[in-house]
């Protein structure tokens, strides 16, 4: 009985990690990967290598997860290893860039897939996509403010839409290949290109693919729940990441079996175009499935991003109002009411937003993995239940340096803006967090603003730790967004 129970826990972890990684990115990124890589063959190579890089990174995170057993992911590790400023910059970039931009990308994808069948022969109007995206965000923010249970239930139901869409694409694609429709996949056609892409363009193709893999760094946030993490955590990584890479590659092969590169690049909603070509009267299934998937994705990100603000506030890195919860519903309402996403929706275009957010994501991964090497050097005798070969972080960091360098060279404005916003956190840290002896008038103003916020949102400081009460599974398992900082204490 004990063995069965252990086996069941382990299976649940693998399922949950696969669900965390397979997000809405696979319906968004194929177009960007193909555009930057210049050929079908190279695009497929980028998808496979993207999975390999994610596997290297997650092994490093697994070591950090069991060596520094704090919930809070990157933020906790970097604060522990490099100190408050680096941790704050990571938090600052997550609050101002990673979460709002990812939410904007998924919301725009949702509206594109919903509106594409309504405007079959043209791109949906700019205002229509923005209005629908904003409506969807506001609706889900209301759901998350009202009830944790309703938010998690939505998450479970909408995961089905995601898997249904991917399963349908892969099965139909394989049928096409069995019927002999694989000219575009033969090596001489797949690797033929009108122009040879520069190294910078290939780096941008990797950034686009990495958006679809961006759940890999949650694999170690369940370390406290996993039985024998030393053995089971690497096993979960070895099973889930190759499986996700396999699913993503098959999905792309399915697209290319029935669509020419030109068709794929001109499509505003790749899966809808695929459905219209192959599913006939059943093609309406595709936009519905993807809309369900992206709707669930937005909900997952909202659910976990609010917990990031919540944990940052408890560390003293963000205003204390963000650590407060509704007196009756126990939901962190102030942390949910973030207007940044609506602003990004109005100024951004999906393709550029992915480069922008992936660049900052990679930057934080690299800093965390560099922290692993620094921690090994500073504390060589510390007991590490999982200890990866030094080649793993070194290979990851070499790839990371090349990728970020060439991405910045190819898209200096898009990637540079993210860096500048991240660095604005330095004066904010020294003025807001580091400077303890502030004038009394500033403290009075903060106290007054907090009081007004409490009255408006009906929130109070929790008398207990909601994460401990809910149990870790509710906070990590059920989110398909960045659960990395969902269960912070």
How many domains does the chain fold into? 1
Higher-pLDDT residue of 391, 145: 391
Of 330, 335, 369, 337, which is closest to residue 137 (Cα–Cα)? 337
Report the distance separating Cα 487 and Cα 361, nearest Å: 19
If you write DSSP's letter for every residue of 21-64 in order, what string do you get? HS-GGGGTHHHHHHHHH-SHHHHHHHHHHHHHHHHHHHHHHHHH
Which residues are 210's β-sheet partners? Answer: none
Here the tokens at position 455 are: 């009255």
pLDDT over 90 (residue 140): no
Cα 211–196–212 angle (5° rounding)?
10
Query: What is the domain extent for residue 389?
Result: 13-460
Q: Average pLDDT for residues 273-294, to the nearest whole number?
A: 79
Of 334, 335, 302, 330, which is closest to residue 147 (Cα–Cα)? 330
Q: Average pLDDT for residues 241-246, to the nearest whole number?
A: 88
In a domain, 483, yes or no: no
Of 487, 475, 136, 115, which is closest to residue 298 (Cα–Cα)? 136
From the number of C-beta atoms within 10 Å of its C-beta (0-12, 13-18, 19+), residue 182 rates as middle
Residue 371 binned pLDDT confidence (cut-offs 50, 70, 90): very high
Q: Are strands 325-326 and 459-460 parallel, antiparallel or unpaired?
A: antiparallel
310-314, 378-382, 462-466, 468-472, range with the lowest pLDDT: 468-472
Residue 16 binned pLDDT confidence (cut-offs 50, 70, 90): low
Q: Average pLDDT for residues 130-143, to the nearest whole number?
A: 83
- Are the C-beta atoms of 335 and 309 separated by less than 8 Å? yes
CA 295 distance to own-chain centroid:
14
Higher-pLDDT residue of 342, 353: 353
Report the distance separating Cα 271 and Cα 114, nearest Å: 12
Here the tokens at position 8 are: 């069941």
Q: How high does pLDDT run on average in the chain? A: 77
Report the distance separating Cα 238 and Cα 52, nearest Å: 11
Report the distance separating Cα 211 and Cα 481, nearest Å: 12
In a domain, 244, yes or no: yes
pLDDT over 50 (residue 319): yes
Report the distance separating Cα 479 and Cα 413, nearest Å: 32
In this prediction, what percent of the chain has a pLDDT beyond 90?
Answer: 8
pLDDT over 50 (residue 234): yes
Q: According to the model, what pLDDT value does residue 373 have?
A: 92
**Confidence (pTM):** 0.79
In a domain, 337, yes or no: yes
Domain of residue 221, CATH code: 1.20.1740.10
211-215, 325-329, 399-403, 449-453, range with the lowest pLDDT: 325-329
In a domain, 484, yes or no: no
Residue 243 binned pLDDT confidence (cut-offs 50, 70, 90): confident
Q: Average pLDDT for residues 92-121, to the nearest whole number?
A: 83
pLDDT over 60 (residue 415): yes
In tens, the pLDDT along 20-34 reads 666 677 888 888 899
Report the distance separating Cα 323 and Cα 472, nearest Å: 18
Q: Average pLDDT for residues 99-105, to the nearest whole number?
A: 83
In a domain, 8, yes or no: no
Residue entry with tokens 């923005």: 130
Q: For the chain, how many helices (H) and strands (E)?
A: 23, 2
Of 327, 344, 290, which is closest to residue 165 (Cα–Cα)? 290
In a domain, 472, yes or no: no
pLDDT over 80 (residue 52): yes
Report the distance separating Cα 419 and Cα 405, nearest Å: 12
Would you tell me how many other CB atoms lie within 10 Å of the CB of residue 434? 11
User: What three-state secondary structure class fits 460?
Assistant: strand
User: What three-state secondary structure class fits 326?
Assistant: strand
In a domain, 471, yes or no: no
Query: Phi, psi at residue 325, to the nearest 5°?
Result: -125, 160
Would you tell me how many other CB atoms lie within 10 Å of the CB of residue 113? 29
Report the distance separating Cα 138 and Cα 216, nearest Å: 28
pLDDT over 50 (residue 109): yes
Half-sphere exposure for 369 (CA within 13 Å, toward CB): 31
Q: Average pLDDT for residues 443-450, to the nearest whole number?
A: 76
pLDDT over 90 (residue 46): yes
Q: Average pLDDT for residues 72-99, to the nearest whole number?
A: 84
Residue 5 binned pLDDT confidence (cut-offs 50, 70, 90): very low
pLDDT over 50 (residue 480): no
Q: According to the model, what pLDDT value does residue 221 have?
A: 55
Q: Average pLDDT for residues 334-347, to the nearest whole number?
A: 61
6-15, 242-251, 290-299, 412-421, range with the lowest pLDDT: 6-15
Buried b (16+ CB within 10 A) or exposed e, 125-139: eeeebbebbbebbee
Of 173, 188, 200, which is closest to residue 39 (Cα–Cα)? 188
In a domain, 467, yes or no: no
């Amino acid at each position: 009985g004990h063995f069965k129970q252990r086996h069941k826990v382990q299976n649940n972890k693998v399922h949950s990690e696969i669900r965390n990684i397979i997000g809405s990115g696979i319906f968004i990124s194929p177009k960007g990967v193909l555009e930057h890589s210049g050929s079908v063959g190279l695009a497929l190579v980028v998808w496979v290598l993207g999975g390999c890089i994610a596997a290297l990174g997650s092994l490093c995170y697994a070591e950090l997860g069991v060596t520094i057993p704090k919930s809070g992911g990157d933020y906790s590790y970097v604060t522990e290893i490099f100190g408050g400023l680096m941790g704050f910059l990571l938090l600052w970039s997550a609050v101002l860039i990673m979460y709002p931009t990812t939410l904007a990308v998924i919301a725009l994808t949702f509206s594109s897939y919903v509106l594409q069948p309504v405007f079959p022969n043209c791109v949906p109007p700019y205002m229509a996509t923005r209005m629908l995206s904003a409506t969807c965000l506001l609706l889900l923010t209301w759901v998350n403010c009202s009830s944790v249970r309703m938010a998690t239930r939505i998450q479970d139901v909408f995961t089905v839409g995601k898997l249904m869409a991917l399963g349908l694409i892969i099965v139909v694609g394989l049928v096409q290949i069995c019927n002999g429709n694989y000219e575009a996949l033969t090596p001489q056609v797949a690797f033929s290109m009108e122009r040879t892409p520069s190294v910078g363009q290939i780096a941008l193709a990797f950034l686009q693919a990495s958006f679809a893999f961006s759940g890999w760094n949650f694999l170690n946030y369940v370390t406290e729940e996993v039985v024998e993490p030393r053995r089971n955590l690497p096993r979960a990584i070895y099973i889930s990441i190759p499986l996700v890479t396999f699913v993503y590659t098959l999905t792309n092969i399915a697209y290319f079996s029935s669509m020419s590169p030109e068709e794929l690049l001109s499509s505003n909603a790749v899966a809808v175009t695929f459905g219209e070509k192959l599913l006939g009267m059943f093609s309406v299934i595709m936009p519905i499935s993807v809309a369900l998937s992206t709707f669930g994705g937005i909900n997952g990100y909202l659910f976990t991003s609010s917990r990031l603000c919540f944990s940052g506030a408890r560390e003293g890195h963000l205003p204390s109002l963000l650590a407060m919860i509704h007196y009756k519903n126990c939901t962190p309402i102030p942390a949910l009411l973030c207007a940044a996403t609506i602003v990004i929706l109005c100024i951004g275009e999906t393709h550029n937003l992915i480069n922008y957010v992936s660049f900052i994501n990679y930057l934080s991964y690299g800093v965390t993995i560099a922290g692993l090497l620094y921690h090994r050097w500073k504390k060589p005798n510390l007991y590490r239940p999982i200890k990866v070969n030094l080649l793993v972080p070194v290979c990851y960091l070499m790839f990371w340096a090349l990728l970020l360098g060439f991405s910045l060279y190819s898209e200096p404005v898009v990637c540079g803006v993210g860096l500048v916003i991240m660095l604005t956190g330095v004066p904010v840290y020294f003025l807001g967090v580091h400077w303890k002896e502030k004038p009394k008038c500033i403290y009075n103003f903060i106290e007054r603003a907090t009081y007004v916020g409490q009255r408006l949102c009906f929130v109070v400081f929790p008398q207990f730790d909601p994460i401990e009460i809910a149990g870790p599974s509710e906070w990590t398992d059920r989110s398909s967004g960045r659960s990395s900082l969902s269960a912070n204490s």
